[in-house]
Structure 1
Amino acid sequence: MIEVERTLTLQHPLPDVVAYLADFAHTQEWDPGTVSCRPARAGVPVAKGSEWQNVSEFRGRRTELLYRLIRFEDRRLTFVGRNRTATSTDDMTFHEEDGGTRLTYRARIEFRGVARLASPFLRKEFERLGDEVVRRMPEAVDGHLGAEGQPAG
């Protein structure tokens, strides 16, 4: 199992940040490994139990996971993605901080079968991806919420 944790501050109100990140389709805007992510059922409001088809690329290989929102709280979101070789958990906790939002993002991946043997060799790459999330997420949130915290566009 590999775990990566990062904390970052976003210059937008907590409810707006949570609403943006609750729609896992936005991962393609801030997650460097996500190639595409779409709701499993189009037109359905985001709620606990919502699912997304996620295509990710890691070390030149594409993989598909079905993610489900298993915890949808005012200050915490948890998504679990599964396929035959891995279970990936993205857990986000939020705290108000000077009108903005402090986000603690934890990513955990558990490999199954033969893939499990590679875990120790992949940690450094997952740490690099965690650093890239810290760089990209503020840009994605700003792009979606705009400079004043209102939806852009």
Structure 2
Amino acid sequence: MISVERSMVVGRPAGEVVGYLADFGNTVEWDPGTVACVRLDPGPLVAGARWRNTSRFRGRQTDLGYRLEEYRPDRLVFVGRNRTVTATDDITVRASEGRTLVVYRASLRFHGLARLAAPFLRAEFERLADAVAERLPRVLAQR
């Protein structure tokens, strides 16, 4: 398994940050690996909401079905799956002195033969997490 964590401080209220991040379709704006992300079900954003996320990683495009597993005022957990990987995005949000601390944790658990590639993908996944930590605060500041 590969796991990364990045912390960011943003100048937006925590409630606004959680509301924006709860819509996983917004990943196209702040996750440089996301090519497209489409909501699969109608209705309010609540635990159980689903998306189809198309990402590009190391020149290859892949689709994962994501589900919002947990939606709290201070935490969001999304789990995406396909036949080769389970991806978990765990985002916590905490108000801090008029600003908001966002802690983004992402993990990839590979299945089958894909597990053998995990050690070789860590550096690329770390670079992607760095790019998220750079882009997300900029996107939130513009909202």
Report the TM range for the smaller structure's normalisation.
over 0.9
**Offset of 1:92 from its aligned partner?**
0.5
Q: Deviations over 1:83-106 (max 9, x none)?
A: 000000000111111111101100
Aligned residues: 143
- TM-score of the pair, normalised by structure 1: 0.91
1:8 corresponds to: 8
Report matched runs for 1:33-44 at 5 Å: 33-41=33-41, 43-44=42-43
Following the alignment from structure 2 to structure 1, what is the Cα–Cα distance between the partners of residues 46 and 38? 15
- TM-score of the pair, normalised by structure 2: 0.98
Task: Specify every segment of 5 or more residues in structure 1 that has no aligned partner in the other structure, as ranges.
Answer: 146-153
Q: Deviations over 1:19-49 (max 9, x none)?
A: 00000000010001100001012x4221110
Percent identity among equivalent residues? Answer: 52
Q: Deviations over 1:76-127 (max 9, x none)?
A: 0000000000000000111111111101100000010111100001100010
2:52 corresponds to: 53
Task: Specify every segment of 5 or more residues in structure 2 that has no aligned partner in the other structure, as ranges.
Answer: none
Report matched runs for 1:74-153 at 5 Å: 74-143=73-142, 145=143
AA of the residue aligned to 1:127: E
AA of the residue aligned to 1:137: L
SS of the equivalent of 1:16 reads helix
Following the alignment from structure 1 to structure 2, what is the Cα–Cα distance between the partners of residues 66 and 11? 31
Q: Deviations over 1:34-78 (max 9, x none)?
A: 00001012x422111000010000001000000000000010000
4+ runs deviating over 4 angstroms: none
Following the alignment from structure 1 to structure 2, what is the Cα–Cα distance between the partners of residues 135 and 31? 10
**Offset of 1:141 from its aligned partner?**
1.3
SS of the equivalent of 2:139 reads helix
SS of the equivalent of 2:129 reads helix
RMSD, aligned CA = 0.8
Following the alignment from structure 1 to structure 2, what is the Cα–Cα distance between the partners of residues 66 and 101? 29
Following the alignment from structure 2 to structure 1, what is the Cα–Cα distance between the partners of residues 133 and 118? 22
1:148 corresponds to: none
